[in-house]
Amino acid sequence: MYYKSKGYRIFSIFNHILLILVALSCLLPMLHLLAQSFSSKTAVNGNLVSFWPVDFNIEAYVKTFKNTNFTGSMRISVVRTVLGTLISMFIITTSGYALSKDFRGRNALMWIFIFTMLFSGGLIPSYILVTKLGLKDTIWSLVLPGAFGAYNLILIMNFFKTIPKALEEAAFIDGASFFVIFRKIYLPLSLPGLATVGLFIMVGSWNAWFDGILYMSNTTDYPLASFLQTVVVQGSAQSMALSQSEAAALSEQSIKAAQIFISTLPIILVYPFLQKYFVKGIVLGAVKE
Amino acid sequence: MKKTGALITTTVLMAGLLAGCGSNGKESNAAEAVLKDGKYDPPITINIAKQQDENAGKYINGESLNDNVLTRWGVENLGINIQTTLLGGDASQYNTKLRLALTGSEKLPDVLPVYDTSLENDLIQSGLVKDIAEDINKYMPERLKEIYKQYPTTFNPVIQDGKVYGMAISPNLTEGEVMLIRQDWLDKLNLKAPTNIDEFEQVIAAFTNNDPDGNGKNDTYGFDFSGKDSYNTGWVSDSVMIFSAYTGKSLPGQWYNDNGKLTYGSVADGTKDALAKLRDWYSKGYLNKELATQGAWDALADFTEGKAGIIIGRPWLYGSVKDVETNVKGAKIKAYPTINGVSGDRTYQSGQQNDGVFMFNKDFNNMEAFFLYYDKLYDAAFGTGDFKYGYAQGYDYDIVGDEVVFDSKKFNTPLDAAQGVGKMAFTKNTPSVDGPGKSFYDLSKGAKAENGVLIRSASNDETAKEGYVISYENRESLLPNAFNGPPTKTMQTTWEQLNTMEKETFTKIIYSKEPLTAYDDFVKQWHDKGGTKISEEINEWYNNASKVDVMSQMGLK
């Protein structure tokens, strides 16, 4: 048997070591961050924290949750993620269902969608569009522009195509309409695909920061990722004119660590529930019949 | 076909509806607001753009950007309502938003603080900003004119064809850098603070080799600085002092006005000697090992950890590294002036006269109101009027009993951090006329702390106060960059490459990865690859900027 051969065992050992190293390189930065978030400010500034908190305290978390900007941004992020995922999923599944059928002009339509994957209008036209539509400063400016993603559409569409035609025909004979078939057959059968694409969209909207900064004129309307962007990037800011108070704010490394950690938690928590669909979803959706 | 028709109709209707939502702009107030007893009636609104860092304090009492103690103060006392309509978090986002606003998709705010010279130039070219020479002459209050008179070069970036398209944001010379030294290490090794390059070398050698922290391990070094972004950070973890010791007034990465001719510091005589010295020190372990990978802010950590003995920065740097006095038992930091050069003259460092400029929408007709408001903000800097102590009691200062306090933890309602005025007013920095630390100097000479500026200064840490006094006494050593104009034509295409080449060459020489002669190659290449051309262009810019006497046009002479 091949898996008992010497060569295979050596390969296996190396394989494990390599994978452990890769896993550690993902895990250790998180651990370091976690340790920092529970350490005192002086210890963090002195570079004394590695993977275990020094002078354990939860002050950074207390301060973070007391900061109404942070909690407000968190709320906006949750709203935008939920709303964005729902709207996006609705658009993509309905259009994916339609496009999985044969009809006249389908290829032309597909071509138009794929075109948007390769070329975009650029920042200025998008900005002008969103502004002139009056979406600026509303949650819709975060949700709508990215609601329809061609890549996700193709995944879902291919997934729908793998469902046997015969199922649909049988349902027709029983008197079901397109909408009933879509709801009662296609959606339940393609749960892995939906979960995968849903996770993509969710992570995408949770992490998106640039649109928030672009379309919100009030920092209190920033989603969490935009808020963090202003807070964390500032740490590497190079400005000669930096004032004393700003410099003091820069040194709040433990608070930044806490904020980053809290902001990654929701996605980490969602992941295990969707993970079981993940591999299946991608593989099935990617194979064309 | 019928369906298509319906679809099109719906789309058109939707578009119409959405477009309708967008255009509910306010009616411009037809009734002319008049200034009566220093107050506008009915109140007028000034729209502003603002770059604001979220991390610098937060709002208290449920206030917000457009409704806080200072905006309300403006309406009540001056009849001026300040409304922020364009906001960016950090510098690059803010610039992006300003550029997008230039597309004309929405109304440009009335007052635009701009912090980027090339964007300043674009705004001027776009024709959307106003020539304010007349307005300054007519409306700028006398005490502000006195300030702007002192800093004529701050107008250079906004002067074009004899027109003035903006003005510096609260011009004021920054504080100078001081040397922070571990006094306990000096005492332990029986050393004195260095005053020239040889003494400096002795001290950092001792800090590296003689185990100043007495833990029996060879884990300390002498001089901590950053070389990641440039060898002239200008604020903290700076190494300019070493270069200046050999080059005098030519500092790396900046332009020096040598009797009317602008020259570039990184290719000046003496730079090679400085690099040779740094190279020697690096190989002996006297310097921060990771200097080329650590930014100015990261490089502090070694000092704060108790591994490094000397760091250079603005006096307030003490506040950021004083944690070492908590982390390491017996640690004590003291501030000293920077050393003298090899010629015996002082060493120089970069100073800054302003952070960005104000520009104004060309349709903005209330310059008088702007100056009225701006002048009031200066009350805090002069310690007069409504803002004698600070901007708002209970926000940035408080009066407890009879005492004015700036320590937010001692407020009547204690706060985690005082609410900085940047959060409320229309600039991120507070106007100041204190220069490189005059109030600290006055205090040290026995002045009574009776206005906000002096009381605030007096409430600083002892070491920081000493640092400011040193900074003020050595204010002559501050050199603003002589070139503050927009990138020239050749600069736009090649400056980035020249800069990269400069940084790489300097770092490789210090790291001993290339011989010292690599510097000569660099100088030659720098000139050949655009440096000469850029120097010409910059001098041309300088001559043009100083040709037309706009200062007297503005009544600033």
Q: Residue B550: which pLDDT band, with cuts at 50, 70 and 90?
A: confident
Taking all residues of chain A, what is their mean pLDDT, rounded to a whole number? Answer: 84
3-state secondary structure labels for all residues of A150-212: HHHHHHHHHHHHCCCHHHHHHHHHCCCCHHHHHHHHHHHHCHHHHHHHHHHHHHHHHHCCHHH
SS3 content of chain A, % helix, strand, coil (to 5): 75, 0, 25
Respond yes or no on whether the N-terminal peptide bond of residue B42 is cis (omega within 30° of 0): yes
Find chain B residues with C-beta within 8 A of A249's C-beta: 53, 55-57
pLDDT given at position B11: 47
| Among candidates B18, B55, B350 on the partner chain, residue whose Cβ is nearest the Cβ of A133 | B18
Task: Please tell me the distance from the alpha carbon of residue A194 to that of residue A200, in angstroms, as a whole number.
Answer: 10
Task: Please tell me the distance from the alpha carbon of residue B517 to that of residue A117, in angstroms, as a whole number.
Answer: 51
H or E element that contains B224: strand B221-224
Beta-carbon contacts of residue A153 (< 8 Å; ≥ 6 apart): A92, A95, A96, A99, A113
- What's the token pair of residue A104? 């006249």
Find chain B residues with C-beta within 8 A of A242's C-beta: 235
Task: Please tell me the distance from the alpha carbon of residue B251 to that of residue B352, in angstroms, as a whole number.
Answer: 14
Alpha-carbon distance values, A119 to A114, A123, A215, B153, B471 (Å): 9, 12, 22, 45, 55
Mutate to test the interface with B, among A70, A137, A210, A240 (most CBs of B within 10 A): A240
Q: CB A250 to CB B320 under 8 A?
A: yes
Mutate to test the interface with A, among B11, B55, B67, B293 (most CBs of A within 10 A): B55
Contact B437, B315 (CB under 8 A): yes
Find chain A residues with C-beta within 8 A of B100's C-beta: 123-124, 127, 214
Closest CA to B225 of B237, B234, B243, B240: B237
| Among candidates B93, B236, B355 on the partner chain, residue whose Cβ is nearest the Cβ of A213 | B93
Calculate the dihedral angle through the C-alpha atoms of B508, B511, B514, B516, rounding to the nearest 10 degrees.
100
Q: Which of A139-143, A255-259, B387-391 has the highest mean pLDDT?
A: A139-143
Q: Is the pLDDT of residue A247 over 70?
A: no
Tens of pLDDT, residues B261-304: 999 999 999 999 999 999 999 999 999 999 999 888 888 889 99
Calculate the dihedral angle through the C-alpha atoms of A34, A40, A43, A46, rounding to the nearest 10 degrees.
90
Find chain A residues with C-beta within 8 A of B301's C-beta: 45-47
Tens of pLDDT, residues B111-145: 999 999 999 999 999 999 999 999 999 999 999 99
Q: CB A248 to CB B320 under 8 A?
A: yes
Mean pLDDT of A267-286: 73
Find chain B residues with C-beta within 8 A of A128's C-beta: 103, 105
Find chain A residues with C-beta within 8 A of B105's C-beta: 127-128, 131-132
Region of B30 (left: φ > 0; alpha: ψ -120 to 50; beta: rest) is alpha
| Among candidates B65, B234, B304 on the partner chain, residue whose Cβ is nearest the Cβ of A45 | B304
Q: CB A247 to CB B316 under 8 A?
A: yes
| Among candidates B22, B316, B416 on the partner chain, residue whose Cβ is nearest the Cβ of A132 | B22
Mean pLDDT of A35-44: 84
Alpha-carbon torsion B163, B167, B171, B174, what sign?
negative
pLDDT given at position B223: 96
Tens of pLDDT, residues A139-154: 999 999 889 989 999 9
Q: Residue B195: which pLDDT band, with cuts at 50, 70 and 90?
A: very high
Q: CB B18 to CB A248 under 8 A?
A: no
Alpha-carbon torsion B517, B518, B521, B527, what sign?
negative
Contact A158, A286 (CB under 8 A): yes
When comparing pLDDT for B430 and B263, which is higher? B263
Tens of pLDDT, residues B447-476: 888 888 899 888 888 999 999 999 999 999
When comparing pLDDT for A229 and B158, which is higher? B158
| Among candidates A45, A132, A245 on the partner chain, residue whose Cβ is nearest the Cβ of B19 | A132
Provide the percentage of residues in chain B whose pLDDT is more than 70: 92
Residue of A nearest to B93 (CA): A213
Closest CA to B438 of B167, B150, B56: B150
pLDDT given at position B513: 95
Mean pLDDT of B390-417: 86
Give pTM, 2 decimals.
Answer: 0.83
Q: Is the pLDDT of residue B519 over 90?
A: yes
Q: CB A244 to CB B319 under 8 A?
A: yes
Find the range with the poorest average confidence among A105-109, B4-8, B416-420. B4-8
Provide the percentage of residues in chain A whose pLDDT is more than 70: 89
